[in-house]
Amino acid sequence: MNKERIREEASYTARGQPNIAFVKYWGKRDERLILPYNSSVSMTLDPSINTTTSVMFSEKFKEDTLYINRDRQDISGGEAKERFALINTLRELAHTDAKALIVSENNFPTASGLASSASGIATLAYAAAEALGLELSEKELSIIARQGSGSACRSILGGIVVWHRGEKPDGSDSFAEQVVNEGYWEELRDVVAIVSTDKKRVSSRAGMKQTVATSLLYRIRPQIAEEYAGVAIDAVKNKDFGRLAETIMRDSSNMHAVMLDTYPPIVYLNDVSVRVMYAIYELNKAEGRNVAAYTFDAGANAHIITLEKDAERVEEALDGIEGISRILKLHQGGGPVLLGSEKSLISNEILDSLYQARS
């Protein structure tokens, strides 16, 4: 790889992580700006699962180009085009027409069902803002990341994060903010049980749109979730695990209930997910208090939130469940960070192909 040439073109590389929501976002009141019906609360995960993204802007590029895990992606239409509109917002702020080359890699399999869009978009927004020399605050960056993928705005910050729903139609008050940093309640863990590697049948974007349009139960979901978000924030600040755990489990089930109430119904959980729910319920019952909480996103994989001292017991409880292919124990992590130019994913081969396409 010819580093000299890359530096000349100013490539910026960042690494960022997914987050797991304690109180979920499911439903947009504005689809273009990605404004949610309720606030959500999440924990940013440690870098053992991460996305690395390199970005370079150049007047010499004919068009924007995106590679994910070495495959060139079509960003000319559909959800991909919507997600990459944030590049236009950044270009406007930087007063440039230069096209972007984006090369992104996840160190976890994209098909594993672990949130890749949140870490991908947050890392992209961060690296692209750096590449354009924009000095944005975390609040401003979260607003930009939000326009690529709602949950991505929470991955701009580390530790426990709230995404305020906001009320303004322009979205200026719908941003992510750190509740406490990753050191405040360091003992929190996310034990992930990978139960399915199937690709989602319905994307989050399409699924939540259907829910908002057809579920009558959804009429009360925003109110309930807003209340849970307040309780979860309070429980985190007070390190009240029992209260946090109950809120996490109730909110996950509430979201999956409105998914099921969607017409036609959306079901992301499978029989293994249900067995995990019962195993955690049994564990908490045996302990006489909540030592763990299950939560599921738009997929069958289980995230078990627990404390370090109880993580082993959680893993034991999951041990006998057939259908779990892998267990990961994740800590909390920070927001995206800039890596040195030696970590750039932009190879000369890719650059040459783009320059050739232009001439």
Judged by the rule CB under 6 A, the positions of this chain that interact with ligand DP6 are 21, 24-26, 34, 40, 117, 149-151, 204-205, 297-298
Longest dimension (CA), the chain: 70
- As a whole number of angstroms, the distance between CA 60 and CA 40 comes to 41
Contact between 24 and 296 under an 8 Å Cβ cutoff? The reply is no
Residue among 90, 76, 98, 115 at smallest CA distance from 303:
115
Nearer to ligand DP6, 223 or 348 (CB): 223
Residues forming a β-bridge with 54: 13, 103
Angle made by CA atoms 142, 143, 148, in degrees to the nearest 5: 90
- Nearest approach in angstroms of CB 19 to ligand DP6 is 7
Q: How far is the CB of 97 from ligand DP6 (least distance, A)?
A: 26
User: Among residues 176 and 272, whose Cβ is nearest to ligand DP6?
Assistant: 176
Query: Whole-number minimum distance, CB 275 to ligand DP6, in Å?
Result: 21
User: Least distance from C-beta 207 to ligand DP6, angstroms?
Assistant: 8
> Helix axis angle, 117-131 relative to 85-94, nearest 10°?
20
If we measure between CA atoms, which residue out of 14, 18, 42 comes closest to residue 110?
18
Q: How far is the CB of 331 from ligand DP6 (least distance, A)?
A: 19
- Judged by beta carbon, residue 40 or residue 273, the one nearer ligand DP6 is 40
DSSP code, position 211: H
Closest distance of CB 118 from ligand DP6, Å: 6
For ligand DP6, the closer of residues 38 and 284 by Cβ is: 38
- Minimum CB distance to ligand DP6 smaller for 101 or for 161: 161
Residue 320, classified by CB atoms within 10 Å of its CB into exposed (0-12), middle (13-18) or buried (19+), is exposed
The nearer residue to ligand DP6, 106 or 344, going by C-beta atoms, is 106
Q: Least distance from C-beta 199 to ligand DP6, angstroms?
A: 14
- In degrees, rounded to 5, the angle at the alpha carbon of residue 72 between the alpha carbons of residues 145 and 299 is 55
Comparison of 80 and 286: residue with beta carbon closer to ligand DP6? 80
Range 84-90 contact pairs with CB under 8 angstroms and sequence separation of 24 or more: 84/148, 85/147, 85/148, 86/121, 86/124, 86/125, 86/128, 86/144, 86/145, 86/147, 86/148, 87/124, 87/128, 89/144, 89/147, 90/125, 90/128, 90/129, 90/132, 90/134, 90/144
* Smallest distance from ligand DP6 to CB 314, Å: 21
Least spacing, CB of residue 149 vs ligand DP6, in Å: 3
DSSP three-state, residue 241: helix
Quick one: 176 or 354, whose CB is closer to ligand DP6? 176
**Strands of 65-157, DSSP E:** 65-68, 71-72, 99-106
**Between residues 223 and 353, which has the closer beta carbon with respect to ligand DP6?**
223
3-state secondary structure of 101: strand
